[in-house]
Amino acid sequence: MHSEERFVDLAIGGIDVAVLAFYMAGVVAIGFWVGRGQRDLQSYLLGGRDLPWWAILGSLVATETSTATFLSVPGIAYAREHGDLRFLQLALGYIVGRCVIAVVLLPWFFRGELYTAYEVLHERFGGATKATASAIFLVTRNLGDGLRLYLTAIALREVVGFSLPACIVIIGLATILYTVFGGMKSVVWNDCVQFVVYMAGGVLALLVIGYRLPGGWDELIAFGTAHDKFRLLDFHWELADAYTFWAAVVGGMFLTLGTHGTDQMMVQRYLCARNQRDAGRALVASGLVVFVQFALFLFLGVALASYYDRFAPDVQFKKPDYVFATFIVRELAPNVGLIGLLLAAVFAAAMSTLSSSLNSSASAAVADFYLPWRRKQLSAQHQVDVSRLMTVVFGAVQIGVAIGADRLSSSVVQDALAIASFAAGLLLGIFFLGVLTRRVGQTAALIGLIAGLIALLEAKFVAPTFGLKVAWPWFALIGAVTTFSVGYVASFAAERRHSPSHDERFS
C-alpha cells in the first residue's frame, strides 16, 4: 500500500491548477455565505426545515455519488471482459426501494420534530435501541467514509502528484471548513453545485471522445454493438454475481431501503424538507436521476473502450478503474482548463459525500447522545457550538482513518468497507421491527440485531471458505431478514416469560 508507482504522467498547467483552486475556494465561500446567522440547532442541522425539494434532490444524488462512482463506474463498462451496461440494473432496485421508503418510512420521520432517524426507535423501543442504532451509524459511517477519503486521495495523488497524506488533508480540511461554518444549508447547496460540476465533467469527457473518434458517434455505437457493450439485462441466477437482474433489483432494493431509509446521512435531508410530500418527491425523483447518472458514466466507459481501441495506450491499464483518470490527464489538452475542470469534478464527487457524512455524524452525536446526557435545557448557541465541534472531531477522525489505512493491505481496506456497509441491513431490520410490529420489545430487537450481525459476518468471511460466495448486493437483504426474523421470534419467548400472550398486531 506504500507504492509510489504512478499510472499517469502529470500534464497539468497553471490554468488547470487555477480552475481547481477556484473550485475549492468557491465551495468554502458558499459555506461561509449560507451559514451566516445560524443561531439554533434546527437551522444548523436541518436548514430550518425550509429547503426546496429540488435542492434536497440534488443533495441526495450528490451525497451517494463518491469519487469511486465517478472514476470506477466507467471502468465497469470499459472492462475488456464482461464490460457492459448490466450495472444499470442496480438503479432499478434503487428506484423500487425509494418508493417503498416514501410509503412506509417517511410518515414515521414526519411525526413530531425529529433531528435524527434514530429518535423513531427511541419512541418505539427505548433509549438503548436508539443509542445502539446511532452508535452503529457513527462507527460504520466514519470508518467507511474515512476509507473512502483514503481511496479518493489515492486517485488524486495519481493525477496531481501530491503525497498521499497531503491529498487526504487537503480534501478533509476544505470539507470540514465549509461544513462546520455553513451547517446543513452549506452541505445541501454545495451538493447541488458539486452535482452540476461532476455531471458536466462526465458530459464534457464524452463530448471530447465523440469529437476525437474519426468516425464520431457512429464509430462509438458500432464498437459498442460489435463488442456487446450495450447488454443491459441478465436474468441468469448466480449468488456470487452482483450484476444479475435478481441481485441488482432485489438486493439493490434492500440496500436502498437500508441506506436511504435508516441512514441518518440520508434521513437528515428528508427532515430538511418543508413537508412530507416534498421529501417524498425529492426521494423518488432522486432514483430516476441516479439511473440517468449511471447511464451516463457507463456510456462514458463504452466511449473510453472505443477510444482506446482506436488509439491504443502506450501502457496497458492495470485496472479498469484507472482508465478515466488516465484519460483526464493524458488525453485532454493541458493548460486550457479542461483538466482542472475534470479534477474539480473528482473533488466534487468526494466532498459531497464527506460533507454530508460529517454533518449527519454531528447531528447524531448531539441529538442522540450529548443532549440526552446533559438532561437540561441548553442555549441554542451552545447547541450549535457543540455541533460545530463535533463536525471538526468527526472530520479529524476520518482524516486519521484515511492516513492509517495506508498501513493496511488493500484486502483489509476492502473488507472494512464491506463491514461498514453492513449497517444498512442491520438498521433496516430494526426499523421494520418497529414499524411493522407491535409485540416486539427492546430486548428482542437487540437480540435480532446481534443475530443479523453474526449472519453478515458469516456471509462475508465464513461462507467463502466453504466455496459459497455471496455478492455484495445481497448483504443488506441478509442482515435485514435475519434481524427482523430473529427479533420477531425472540419476542414470543419474552412474552411467555413476562406476560400473558396477546394477539399479533400490525400497524
Written as one string, the DSSP assignment of 451-472 is HHHHHHHIIIIIGGGGT----G
Per-residue pLDDT, 412: 61
pLDDT at 309 over 70: yes
Which has the higher per-residue pLDDT, 239 or 391?
391
Within 10 Å of residue 203's Cβ, how many Cβ atoms? 12
Q: What pLDDT does 280 receive?
A: 95
pLDDT tens readout for residues 373-385: 877 777 888 888 8
Lowest model confidence (mean pLDDT) among 178-187, 207-216, 451-460: 178-187
127's grid cell: 433509549
339: confidence class by pLDDT, cuts 50, 70, 90? confident
Q: Please, what's the b/e burial string for 443-454 (b: 16 or more CB within 10 A of its CB; e: otherwise)?
A: bbbbbbbebbbe
Residue 3 has pLDDT above 60, yes or no: no
pLDDT band at 411 (very low <50, low <70, confident <90, very high): low
Question: Residue 466: exposed, middle, or buried by beta-carbon count in 10 A (0-12, 13-18, 19+)?
Answer: exposed
Q: How confident is the model at residue 122 (pLDDT cuts 50, 70, 90)?
A: confident
Residue 193's pLDDT is 87
| Average pLDDT score over residue span 342-357 | 82
Residue 414's pLDDT band (boundaries 50, 70, 90)? low
Geometric angle at alpha carbon 253, from 249 and 259, rounded to 5°: 140
Give the confidence band of 413 by pLDDT, cuts at 50, 70, 90.
low
Q: 109: which residues sit within 8 A by CB, 6+ positions away?
A: 117, 120, 267, 270, 271, 276, 279
- Inform me whether the pLDDT recorded for 225 exceeds 90: yes
pLDDT value for 6: 46
Q: What is the pTM of this model?
A: 0.84
| pLDDT at position 4 over 60 | no
Average pLDDT over residues 350-355: 82
Query: pLDDT band at 11, cuts 50/70/90?
Result: low
> Could you tell me if 87 and 472 are in contact, meaning their C-beta atoms sit under 8 angstroms apart?
no
**Domain boundaries along the sequence of the chain:** 14-107+116-409
pLDDT band at 410 (very low <50, low <70, confident <90, very high): low
**CA-closest candidate to residue 449, choices 494, 507, 490, 506:** 490
Contacts of 266 (CB under 8 A, 6+ apart): 60, 63, 64, 259, 260
C-alpha cell at 462: 465464513
| pLDDT (mean) for 71-88 | 86
Would the pLDDT of 22 be above 90? Answer: no
Residues 6+ apart with CB under 8 A from 4: none
Q: What span, in angstroms and rounded, lies between the C-alpha atoms of 378 and 9?
A: 55
With bands split at pLDDT 50, 70 and 90, how would you rate the model's confidence at 395?
Answer: very high
Extract the C-alpha cell encoding 95. 428506484
* CA distance linking residue 340 with residue 7, whole number of Å: 18
What mean pLDDT comes out for the span 292-306? 94
Residue found under cell 474539480? 344
Query: What is the rounded average pLDDT for all residues in the chain?
Result: 84
Quick one: pLDDT at residue 506? 41
252 or 286, which is more confident? 286
In which band, very low, low, confident or very high, does the pLDDT at 92 lie, cut at 50, 70 and 90?
very high
Residues 98 and 287: beta-carbon distance below 8 Å: yes
What integer pLDDT is reported at residue 118 of this predicted model?
A: 84
Task: Please give the pLDDT value at position 282.
Answer: 96
DSSP 71-100: HHHHHHHH-TTT-SSGGGHHHHHHHHHHHH
Kindly tell me if the per-residue pLDDT of 161 is higher than 90. no
Arithmetic mean of pLDDT, 179-200? 86
According to DSSP, the residues that pair with 273 across neighbouring strands are: 51
Single-letter amino acid code for the residue at 266: M
- Integer Cα distance of 47 and 184 in angstroms: 5
Across 129-150, average pLDDT: 88
Query: Residue 1: what pLDDT?
Result: 42
Neighbours of 500 (CB within 10 A): 6
Give Cα 237 to chain centroid, integer Å: 27
Predicted pLDDT at 8: 45
- In this prediction, residue 303 carries a pLDDT of 95
CATH architecture of the domain formed by 14-107+116-409: Up-down Bundle (1.20)
Q: How confident is the model at residue 238 (pLDDT cuts 50, 70, 90)?
A: confident
What DSSP character marks residue 366? Answer: I
pLDDT at residue 207 greater than cutoff 90: yes
Give me the mean pLDDT over the 13-35 stretch: 81
Which tens digit of pLDDT belongs to each residue from 424-434? 889 899 988 98
